[in-house]
Amino acid sequence: MRRAGLLLALPLAACVSAGPRAPAPAAAEVVAPPGWRSGTGRGATVDADWWTRFGDPALSALVARALANNVDVAVAAARVEEAHAAEALARAQLSPQVGGTLPETQGQTLSPLGTPSRAIGAQPGVTASFDLDLFGRLRQASRAARAQLLATEAARDTVRLATATSTASGYVTLRALDQRLQIARDTLAARGEALRIARRRFETGYSSRLELRQAQAEYAATEQLVPTAQLAIARQENALSLLVGDTPGPIARGLPLNRLTVPDIPAGLPADLLRRRPDLFQAEQTLVAADRSLDSQRATFLPNLALTGSAGLVLSTALGNPVGVFSLGASILAPIFDGGRLAAQEDAATARRNQAAFAYRRTALSAFRDVDDALAGVKRTREQAAALAGQVAAARGALQNATNRYRAGYSAYIEQLDAQRSLLTAELSLVQAENDRLTNAIALYGALGGGWQRP
């Protein structure tokens, strides 16, 4: 880029980590990332091997299906084809235009004796025109189309990246819902056993009707958790089916939630990983395209020189031999008075260029925030899950003690009821924390534009 403005250069030497925040990028000139999309070429931002680190083949297969069959990915690929055609059209404006003609004429002629006769003739020829593009109007337009093509390819990769992360997050959420359903069923079985004991104690006169009603109410409260979880599972399966391009239906499962592993995250991740983000490259190329369009618009103020030529033959029944004809010409077109149309178009192009510059800066700042949020989320949810695991173990032991005391007649049923409620709440919270930990790791994958290398 030749112009400097309120743009952003990513600090390659900086590091982002879960500790101190990265400093806010300073205003500087835009520098194109030369190493973006290095590796396998187009679409390399979605690393299929990375998903195997979760240890679940069903997750990897689901992401692969989504990338192959997702409708949004197909639409983005079609937009790339359209951008290729637009770039080829802009390039074609730099080449000479050649065409052919074959007009036919009929008429009457007079012989020296005054006798009229009909003559039939034709004048085949070739015409050519070429715009010299002295001041780069067409060249800048072609470069703008090229930058727009790169931006469209980056937009396609952005869709692919979002599809992969959404599919993986959806699968993790589905496994969390499965575990919630299993917890609800296990708790319902335990409440059923408690209800059976409470009913028997009431019938034999060892407890009051209050304990029986409490057991019945607690059983009904747990029973409604099962259809609620089943409804959430059905909706999540339908959402995943849409992502993978299928009609609503069941989704194949793999490992349970508590057996999925989070990929190891290095202590410090280099900030230049952000340059793999396709949305950042898309914003940059959009800025480049706007800048080239501005140059092309400014060139319309200058004179334009075009060369034209034609050559052909005159064939007629009135001529003994064909006659060759040719012409050469040049035209200069320069604006003299247009009522301010060209100036208004330049102002509009300048405004679009400035909008693209601020959009690029916003995208870069958002990228830093996404990484910082995901890193903090992975770290804090891991700590939360460890604490909740201890709470679940303690609540399970307290329930065992409360059950023994109740059956031995040393305590009221309310103690066992409180212990059951505490255990259910802790187990559901632990499932949510594990879900958040895995989804934050997936979010970090997307924030870095396609994950990171094994440490």
**Could you tell me the mean pLDDT of each successive run of 10 residues in the chain, 455 residues long?**
35 35 34 36 57 89 91 90 85 72 57 56 62 66 82 88 92 95 93 87 83 89 93 95 91 91 76 77 81 67 58 54 57 62 76 81 85 88 92 92 84 85 92 93 86 61
Is residue 61 included in any domain, yes or no? yes
pLDDT at residue 100, rounded to an integer: 62
At residue 371's C-alpha, the angle toward residues 368 and 56, to 5°, is: 155
| Residue/partner pairs of 393-398 with CB below 8 Å, 24 or more apart | 395/419, 395/422, 395/423, 395/426, 396/423, 398/422, 398/423
Pairwise CA distance, residues 219 & 192, whole Å: 6
Pairwise CA distance, residues 246 & 66, whole Å: 9
> Looking at residue 220, which CATH number applies to its domain?
1.20.1600.10
Is residue 248 included in any domain, yes or no? yes
Is residue 114 included in any domain, yes or no? no
Number of domains in the chain: 1
Is residue 123 included in any domain, yes or no? no
Pairwise CA distance, residues 98 & 203, whole Å: 103
Is residue 426 included in any domain, yes or no? yes
Is residue 1 included in any domain, yes or no? no
Is residue 40 included in any domain, yes or no? yes
Convert 284-307 to b/e letters by CB count within 10 Å (16 or more is b): bbbbbbbbbbbbbbbbbeeebeee
Polymer length of the chain = 455
Pairwise CA distance, residues 246 & 239, whole Å: 10
Domain that holds residue 226: 7-95+136-301+348-447
Largest CA distance in the chain: 143
pLDDT at residue 125, rounded to an integer: 60
pLDDT at residue 118, rounded to an integer: 61
Is residue 320 included in any domain, yes or no? no
